[in-house]
Amino acid sequence: MIWPEPLYHAHDIFRETPMTDPKKTDLKTKILSAVQGDLAAIETALTRHLAPHFELVSQVAGHILFAGGKRFRPLLTCLAARLCGLDDPKTAEFSIIFEYLHAASLLHDDVIDEADMRRGRPVAGKVWNNAIAVLTGDFLMSRALSIAMDTGIHRILKIIADVTNNMSQGEIQQLARKGDVTLTQAEYLEVIHYKTAVLFEGACHAGGLLAGADSSRCEALSTYGYHLGIAFQMADDLLDYTQDLATLGKRAGADLREGKMTLPLIHALSRASEKDRDQMVSLVGKPDFSDGEFSELVEKLYHYEGIAYTQAQTTRHADAAKTALSGFKDGPDRELLMLLVDYAHHRQS
Amino acid sequence: MIWPEPLYHAHDIFRETPMTDPKKTDLKTKILSAVQGDLAAIETALTRHLAPHFELVSQVAGHILFAGGKRFRPLLTCLAARLCGLDDPKTAEFSIIFEYLHAASLLHDDVIDEADMRRGRPVAGKVWNNAIAVLTGDFLMSRALSIAMDTGIHRILKIIADVTNNMSQGEIQQLARKGDVTLTQAEYLEVIHYKTAVLFEGACHAGGLLAGADSSRCEALSTYGYHLGIAFQMADDLLDYTQDLATLGKRAGADLREGKMTLPLIHALSRASEKDRDQMVSLVGKPDFSDGEFSELVEKLYHYEGIAYTQAQTTRHADAAKTALSGFKDGPDRELLMLLVDYAHHRQS
C-alpha cells in the first residue's frame, strides 16, 4: 500500500513522473529500499491512530492520508532521530505528527484553493463537502497535538505551536499577496519559509529532540530542514513552469493562473523590459490564458533568467542543507538525508 | 468597547434582547458589575496577543474577536481560578485561550454553515473570503496552543488537545446526521457535549489547574462546566423555536431549516401520532417552509411536550451545575458562577 497510485500533487517529493533519467531512478530505488522499514512503521502508526474515531472522521482523514502521500516529513523525523543515535520503534509512532499536520493543511488548502483533484482523486471537499474537509483538518491538527503530548517533550509541543502558527500566517500572507506583482524575493522567501519550510524544520528538529540530542545538533537538524524545505518548494515552483504536461497529468501554469507570485516570475519581472514586463503582468491571475500565451511567458522566464536564477537558488539551499549535516558522523542515515536533498533538488529538471 | 454592538448570535449568553423582565435585567447588571475588572483584563489580553502578527491576520481575527462577544468562556476560567484561591492578573492572560478556541470554531462554523451574518456584522468569509476565514481560525487555534504552553501546565495542554479533538468530531457528527430524523436523545447529548460543553468544561477545569487546585476540585469544576455547557446549548436550541422574532432580529427556525435535529423536535417526534410525525418530518431541512408551517410545527412541539421536556432537561442540567459547586465555600465567586447558570438557564424563556 505504499506507492499505490499515480501522484499529481507537487507536494509529493517522490512523484512518479520526471524519473526517466536512469540516475534519478537509481536514486529513488536506493532511497526506497533503505527506508522500507520506516515507511511500513509509519503506515501502521497512521492507520492505528485513526481507528478509534467516528467512522466518518476516519474515512475522510483516510481519504487524504492514504492517497499516495510519500511520508516525506515523518521520514525526516525517523532519520534525524537515528542520526542522533535513537533506534526505537516509538519514533515512527511519534513521527506521524508531521504527516497529520501536513494532511490537515492539505485539507484546508483544497478548500481554500477550490481544488477539484489531489493525487488523482477528487478532494475531500468534493467527495463529502467543504465543511467536512475543514473539520477533518481541525481533527487531524488536534490528533497531531495529542500525539505530541504523548512524547512528554515540551519542546516538541512548542514546535507544533510554532509550525501551525507560521503555516497559517504564511498561507494568509500568500493569499493576501495573490496577484501582487510587487512581491519581492525577500517576501517570497518569507512566505515559502512559513508555509512549507517550517514543517520540514520542525520534523527534523523533533527527531533530534526525541533522540535527546544537544542543542547544537538540534539546531543543525533544523537548519538542514529549513534549507531542504526551501529547496523543495523552489523546485516545486519551478516545475509549475517547466514540467512536462503530458507526463505529469497536471496542467502547468497553475500558480500563474491563481496569481501566485513565485521566484521564476519575480526574478524575471525585475529584469524585464517595460514592454515584456507589461505583457507578463497581464497574465498574472488571468484564469483563461492560452497555451500560446503561456509558452511565450515561459520563454521570457528563460530569457530574463528567472528559471536559471531559481535553479541556482535551489542549488544554493540544497547545498546549505547538506552542509548543515557536516558535523554529524558519516553513516547510512546521514547519507540518506543527503540523498533526500538530491531528490528534492532534481525535481527542478 | 465591552458591550458595543447588538448581538444576534445565540452563542452569546448576554444577548441584549430577552431582558425585559426586570428580574433578569437585575441579574445581568449584577453579573456585569461584579466582573468588570475581569472583563477589562480579558479585553486587554485579547488585543495584546494579536498585535505582533501580520496586519491582515490581526484584522480578521479582530473582526470576530471584537464584535461583541461576551467572553463567557474566559470569564469561567477567571472565576474558577479565584474560587480556588488564585487572585493573579496572569489568569486573565491565560483565560483567553478559550476565547481564541471559541473564535476559531466560530470562524470555521461560518464557513461550514455558509453564514452571512454574525453578531450583526457580515462574517469574515464575506468581508474577506472563506480561505482567509479558515486560515485565521487555524491561526487562532495555534495562538491558543502557544498561550497554553506559556502556562507551563501540561494538563492544560491536554485540555486543548481534548477540546479541539472533541469539538471537531462533534461538529462532524452533527453535520453527518443533518436531516436524520432518527437521531436519538442520547446521540443529541453526545453531539452537544462535544461541540459545546467540552469547551465550558475545559475553561473551568483550566481555572482550577491554574490555581493549583487538587483533582477533586478540578473535577467538580469540570462537572460544573459540563452541565452549564449542556444547559447553555439546550437553552439555545429551545430559543430557535421559542424566541421572539421581532426582538431578536434573527429568524427563528434556523436549526429546522438546516436539518439540525435538536431536543425539542427529537422528543416531540418520539411521541407524535404518525400523521403529525410525517408532517413535522416533512419540514426538516426544507429551505423554504412558510411562517404558517413553522407556527404549526411549533404548536406540535408544545403539544407533544418537546418544549416542556427540553425546559425540564435544561433545568436538570442547570441544577446539576450548581450542585457541582456545593463542595466549595460560599463566597462572591461561587455566587457569580451560580448566577451565570441562572443566566444561561433563563435564556430558555
Query: Would you list the DSSP string of B313-341?
Result: HHHHHHHHHHHHTTTSPPSHHHHHHHHHH
Q: What is the pLDDT of residue A323?
A: 98
The pairing of beta strand A121-122 with beta strand B117-118: unpaired
Closest residue of chain B to A60, computed from CA coordinates: B172
Mean pLDDT across B320-331: 97
Per-residue model confidence (pLDDT) at position B250 = 54
Q: What is the pLDDT of residues A187-203, one digit of tens each?
A: 999 999 999 999 999 99
**Of B15 and B227, more confident:** B227
* Alpha carbon separation from A46 to A43, A161, B49, B261, B288 (Å, rounded): 5, 21, 34, 33, 44
Q: Please indicate whether, in this complex, the C-beta atoms of A169 and B54 are within 8 angstroms of each other.
A: yes
Instruction: Tell me the ipTM for this assembly.
Output: 0.84
Question: Which residues on adjacent β-strands are paired with residue B118?
Answer: B121
AA letter at B307: I
DSSP states of A259-304: T---HHHHHHHHHS-HHHHHHHHTTTT-TT--HHHHHHHHHHHHHT
Segment A240-247 shows an average pLDDT of 72
Gap between the Cα atoms of A106 and A114, Å rounded:
12
Least confident of A56-60, A305-309, B71-75, B87-91: A56-60
What 3-state DSSP class applies to A1?
A: coil
The answer to whether the CB atoms of B138 and A53 lie below 8 A apart is: no
Q: Which of B108, B131, B146 sits opposite A165 (nearest CB)?
A: B146
pLDDT-wise least confident of A53-57, A298-302, B184-188: A53-57
pLDDT digits 0-9 by tens, B63-73: 888 776 789 99
State the cell numbers at B65: 474577536
The C-alpha of B142 sits at a distance from chain A's nearest C-alpha, in angstroms, of: 5
A62 has a pLDDT exceeding 80: yes
Grid cell digits, residue A224: 538542514
Q: SS3 for B48-85, per residue?
A: HCCCCCCHHHHHHHHHHHCCCCCCHHHHHHHHHHHHCC
**A112 touches B: beta carbon within 8 Å:** yes
pTM: 0.87
For the ranges A211-215, A245-249, B189-193, B248-252, which has the lowest average pLDDT? A245-249
**Residue B20 confidence (pLDDT):** 52
Distance from CA of A3 to the nearest CA of B (A): 30
Whole-number Å distance between alpha carbons of A23 and A6: 21
Mean pLDDT for A245-258 is 71
> Could you write out the DSSP letters of every residue in A320-332?
HHHHHTTTSPPSH
* pLDDT tens, residue by residue, B113-130: 777 777 677 877 777 778
What is the spatial distance between Cα B336 and Cα B80, in angstroms, rounded to a whole number? 10
Whether the CB of B171 is below 8 Å from some CB of chain A: the reply is yes
Q: Which of A234, A207, A239, A260 is nearest to A320 (CA)?
A: A234
Task: Flag whether pLDDT at B348 surpasses 50.
Answer: no
More confident residue, A209 or A250: A209
CB contact set of B287 (below 8 Å; sequence gap of 6+): B257
Chain A partners of B130 at a C-beta cutoff of 8 Å? 111-112, 130
Q: Which of the four pLDDT bands, split at 50, 70 and 90, describes residue B11?
A: very low
Supply the pLDDT for residue B145: 95
Please provide the DSSP assignment of B227-257 as one string: HHHHHHHHHHHHHHHHS-HHHH-S-TTHHHH
